[in-house]
Amino acid sequence: MIERFWLFHCAYARIPRSLIVEGGGWELVTLPMLCGVAEHSEYGPILFDAPYGHEGPSNLGALMGSVMQRTGLVFRERWSVVPRLEQLGHRPADVSHILMTHLHYDHTGGMKTLAHAQFHLSRREWEFAHQDSARRAGARGYARSDFQSLEHCVTLYEPVPHLADSQEGIDLFGDGSIEMFFLPGHTPGHCGYRIHLGDGSAIFFAGDAAYTRAQVFDEQGFGLMPKTVGTSMGGVQVSLRALRRHLKEHPDDVLITSHDLQLGERCIEDGPICYGD
């Protein structure tokens, strides 16, 4: 059973709104890199993505890391996944399972620091991240050095039921606590997770299927960044429609996207958000 779920930021970037939202103008907004931890009574803390280890954005190379920090990315070592787990009262050694939405650099920087855990992701994502040279993968947003030594600790799923086709995902722990769904488009193997809490509520952790929740709820358009980073905008639209339908059928589900501006603002101003207590 999952007792509670914590959401927190590992970094944020100050960037023009138009990069995220269509027609958003030049006003600067704060784009968070969010991460979650579900507290499972049997399996301990279960992490959702692992954005940033102690080196922060240098996982893309020292030069790129410093360019990013000079152009608006704000990172503090205390925000990286290991200190974050400790701040929430967990020993990083107790993390046995990490559920990855996809393998873009802003979701993987902390993977190496948790190499004792099992990483769960779609086979499609793993293969896509490895199909080209490291340099080409880098141009597509993959920092392969974050996970290339972790082949022995990944569990790859294929097929994963597409949210558009199925009401039920893969029951990852056999107890109905977390379901895995295929939500491709942003990357070819992108997945989302439906988390069932002990109090009967549910969270849908949708990763980068959309950048903001308003892009799911209000049909707010995508800005330059989601449009250029996404590998298939047709695929993104299919996944978005599936998410909208799911949320219509399950209006009490709490939707989380990894870069939601409002959730980020709450985390940055008030600290980690707790669901289920």
Would you tell me which residues interact with Zn ion (CB under 5 A)?
Answer: 106, 208
Q: How many residues does the chain have?
A: 277
Residue 146: HSE in the Cβ half-sphere, 13 Å Cα cutoff: 33
Residue appearing with tokens 């909208």: 244
Other beta carbons within 10 Å of 122: 27
DSSP 207: T
User: Smallest gap, in angstroms, from Cβ of residue 105 to Zn ion?
Assistant: 8
CB 160, min distance to Zn ion, A: 19
The residues that bridge with 182 in the sheet, in sequence order, are: 162, 191
Q: Which is nearer to Zn ion, 55 or 208 (CB)?
A: 208
Nearest CB to Zn ion, comparing residues 101 and 177? 101
**Which CB sits closer to Zn ion, 43 or 105?**
105
| Tokens of residue 136, six digits | 């080409």
Q: Which two tokens stand for residue 274?
A: 């707790």
CA distance 38 to 44: 8
Minimum CB separation of residue 71 from Zn ion in Å reads 17
Smallest gap, in angstroms, from Cβ of residue 43 to Zn ion?
Answer: 25
By beta-carbon proximity to Zn ion, the closer residue of 92 and 264 is 264
Q: How far apart are CA 86 and CA 40, in angstroms?
A: 16
Shortest distance, position 60 Cβ to Zn ion, whole Å: 13
Looking at the Cβ atoms of 196 and 259, the one nearer to Zn ion is: 259
